[in-house]
A and B are shown apart, each in its own frame.
Chain A
């Protein structure tokens, strides 16, 4: 565990927020020889990702996976009795995972001689931070360069009390205080679907309500339909084109008024409601008005290709610097900001930022999507390979999945890859590398892929496009 250091009077680089962006920037900056102060209200670095996001949700999704595999294995001749779920132990195990990782980071921070200040920081002016530590000490830090990495938080429906136990956001849902008999997930995005899957596996009857016409807005429909077919079985109902009109907490549940696209209004009662309608950047209470830093219309800090804000010596990275709000985007931006702060010529210029939805099946994609190609009128050639013919898929007792390869029809260069199926999140990494290296489908076709694995689907998709 790291201990909170004294507030340093001055530092070369002040980093506000110790999530994936903040701690990665700190590590890179120290490597480059900068003296770093890392300021965060938590005892250990980790941010939303480790404390209240990626990591705890994946731990719970692992539990969900075990439950559903046990259930489905009866079909291949291995029957288990209905699992006994010790919620206390599940929660504890999840917390152990989180503590192990954040504690590890705390140790690394101490070892790298980063001064970790547990507290909240605010700009006094463009060169000075006022820091209030967890124990109430107030002090000032003069900095040469600063990196803002304060992240984001879930958006709550207006009028819902923050301490409500029946209407929760992703943070509340991850606490798994109980397994409600019924759960309504408001929002068909990846957070809602992942957490909905967890609760469904634990035994809740899960319903999803989504305002737009499909789940996972922005993702290609053919991939979503692979997921939806399975979710239709796992979830109680998926209500698309439906709006939440009213949400009222009652003694024995939550009364929700819904209006569908035919303007039909229904009232339904749920034991619990999870609101997962998006996240917003944490830009308040930072004293940004004391600086020249500008925010865009959505409230993100405006930055250039080096992640510099309107104050050239102050950088912003991660969720606060714009979509997509993903930890791995923050890591990459952290490197750029730290290097730029050190006077290097780094620029944030990725060819692809992968997106992964950790549902079952998983959906992952990188680069151009078919939808985007159509909207932006970009010429593409696509190959779609259903997994039904893939040996590994069948030996896993599955038959769902799809790999899609999108290439430039003239140069054969890989423009985008999308995968739906178990393990898609792991598979996408190869495609991201292919895109960064400007690979052509011939390269994928001539790379030996291990057999029998799911990765062969990419090889086979490339073979559909490269025939010479």
Chain B
């Protein structure tokens, strides 16, 4: 029997969301509680579990679709006659679900012969349905074939969309190892020419080598970070494999893009933070936990001020138009360690906020991030990033610039060290800082000046007021 899965009411006020990931395909057998799809609202990413054991018979949505609460998302073929009522309550919302768009073929009328000579132009407006299963089958088939991995054998695509290109152009794409479905055609109706294919290769190569890149055609090209064939690890012992989480996948992509395209330099310095740390501890003795002042919050303020003083550190490089994009705002990203992996929420307009506000905001956002309750927009738009590993340990590290930003500050664990004050050794709390920057934009001397500025501001916070 058929069982309808609808978008549940996630939380109050949430009326719609985006399908971020469909975890099953038509024909898949699913167990109770198995994740069917991931649904992202402006508040959180939620996994929608299967209420019942069964087989997916229809998927009504596709990745990227915005769907309303109560909308039909999937139809499950449930074996036998199980208790359906309880299931329904669990998965479907109270609100009457909007009827899914019923695609009915508009009957194209056949003109009788009497009308011969009269011209008829008809339009059948229908919704294209994606043929997920078909693709999957073809893809699996391809994988199972040995020795063919370099040729794309998938001839049928999502919704049976075919790449509009002449056979000679398709052959050229195959020869160059280009997936023609990624090429944006510039001809009439999006027709792909030989030139489009060659251009695609050129742009892709430029992205890899960093040589004068043109705008990315299709967002990040996933094939950019090609992997060499892996050895058969099981030869040497037992292995298990686990799928990459979405966060891990994105991190891998972002990091390899930055690593392979940005010439980076890391500079080290040490900040004397005895007084600031004493102040912080004193402050926290009086503060309630939400207001707790962290070193990171102080660093956000200091860096925001430094970014105002050194605007090039608050920029992005636009090689295509040979320009430096200088941002008139300071949004500081803070790396947060979460069970799902590293996430970087962004504090907006950090330069215009006081440390107290920043601390409050940072505590709240970090907490939400750890619980994965922030939307992707919170992680966008950063102009500079701070990665504070001080709480974990270590004396120094080289953070990787978070492209398209040009600099990132790494913070290690502060330690009490003896300092010679001219007469005797005095104990000083020293916090090691490392600054990695895009050497295409920032020269070494500027890097050193920026980092020194930060250290001096920490040593003598009056600097902030004087300069910031």
Contacts and interface: CB of A to CB of B under 8 A. Distances in A.
A175 interface: no
A443 B108 contact: no
A344 to B, nearest CB: 9
Contacts of B187: 438
B145 A308 contact: yes
Given A412-B188, A438-B191, A221 B117 contact: no
B155 A347 contact: yes
Given A376-B160, A386-B116, A465-B121, A306 B151 contact: yes
Contact of A438 (B113, B142, B174, B192): B192
B121 A382 contact: yes
B105 interface: yes
A429 interface: no
Contact of B148 (A304, A380, A399, A438): A304
Interface string A355-378: 000000000000000100111111
B154 interface: yes
B165 interface: yes
Contacts of B128: 377-379
A388 interface: yes
Nearest to B170: A349
B166 A437 contact: yes
Contacts of B286: none
A379 B189 contact: no
Contacts of A384: 111, 119-120, 122
B118 to A, nearest CB: 8
A465 B117 CA distance: 16
A36 B373 CA distance: 65
Nearest to A440: B189
A269 B118 CA distance: 44
A207 B164 CA distance: 44
A42 to B, nearest CB: 32
A383 interface: yes
B121 A379 contact: no
A180 B155 CA distance: 47
A408 interface: yes
Contacts of A442: 188
Contact of A345 (B142, B150, B154, B166): B150
A146 to B, nearest CB: 16
Interface in B101-121: 103, 105, 108, 110-111, 113, 115-121
B147 A347 contact: no
Given A345-B151, A347-B151, A304 B142 contact: yes
A379 B161 CA distance: 12
Nearest to B152: A347
B239 interface: no
A383 B121 contact: yes
B7 to A, nearest CB: 22
Nearest to B107: A374
Contacts of A306: 148, 151, 153
A437 B191 CA distance: 9
A349 B172 CA distance: 13
A286 B135 CA distance: 31
Interface in A261-312: 304-306, 308, 312
A351 interface: yes
A383 B119 contact: yes
Contacts of B115: 386
A384 B170 CA distance: 31
B108 A382 contact: yes
Nearest to A406: B124
Interface residues of B, number: 50
Of the candidates B113, B121, B155, the one having the most CB atoms from chain A within 10 angstroms of its own CB is: B121
B124 A373 contact: yes
A411 interface: yes
B177 to A, nearest CB: 9
Contacts of B151: 305-306, 345, 347
Nearest to A349: B155
A349 B169 CA distance: 12
B124 A380 contact: yes
Contact of A399 (B108, B110, B116): B116
B146 A379 contact: no
A323 interface: no
Nearest to B112: A225
Given A312-B145, A438-B192, A382 B124 contact: yes
Contacts of B111: 384, 386
A131 interface: no
Contact of B110 (A221, A308, A348): A221
A388 B111 CA distance: 13
Given A347-B153, A370-B108, A379 B147 contact: no
A413 interface: yes
A436 interface: yes
Contacts of A399: 116
Interface string B338-382: 000000000000000000000000000000000000000000000
A197 B263 CA distance: 76
Given A222-B110, A349-B155, A378-B160, A386 B174 contact: no
A381 B188 contact: no
A436 B164 CA distance: 8
A377 B189 contact: no
Nearest to A461: B119
Interface in A413-468: 413, 436-438, 440, 442-443, 460, 464-465
Given A305-B155, A351-B162, A377 B142 contact: no
B128 to A, nearest CB: 6
Given A377-B128, A436-B167, A383 B174 contact: no
A375 B126 CA distance: 11
B235 interface: no
A413 B163 CA distance: 11
A167 interface: no
Nearest to B120: A384
Given A225-B110, A374-B124, A438-B164, A304 B192 contact: no
B122 A304 contact: no
B106 to A, nearest CB: 8
Contacts of A385: 119
B162 A381 contact: no
Contacts of A348: 155
B160 to A, nearest CB: 7
Interface string A399-414: 1000000001101110
Interface string B124-136: 1111110000000
Contact of A379 (B124, B148, B152, B167): B124
A388 B126 CA distance: 31
B174 A377 contact: no
A124 to B, nearest CB: 22
A389 B167 contact: no
B85 interface: no
B123 interface: yes
A443 B162 CA distance: 19
Contacts of B147: 312
Contacts of A305: 142, 151-155
A442 B187 CA distance: 12
Contact of B166 (A225, A388, A438, A465): A438
17 contacts: A304-B148, A305-B142, A305-B152, A308-B148, A312-B145, A345-B175, A346-B171, A346-B174, A347-B174, A373-B124, A382-B108, A384-B111, A388-B116, A413-B190, A438-B166, A438-B191, A460-B119
Interface of B: 103, 105, 108, 110-111, 113, 115-129, 141-142, 145-148, 150-155, 159-160, 162, 164-167, 170-171, 174-175, 187-192
Given A305-B153, A374-B126, A399-B116, 6 more contacts: A312-B148, A347-B151, A349-B155, A377-B129, A378-B160, A438-B191
Kindly list the 7 A-B residue pairs having the minimum CB-CB distance in the complex, ordered from nearest: A305-B153, A411-B189, A438-B164, A388-B116, A374-B105, A386-B116, A389-B117
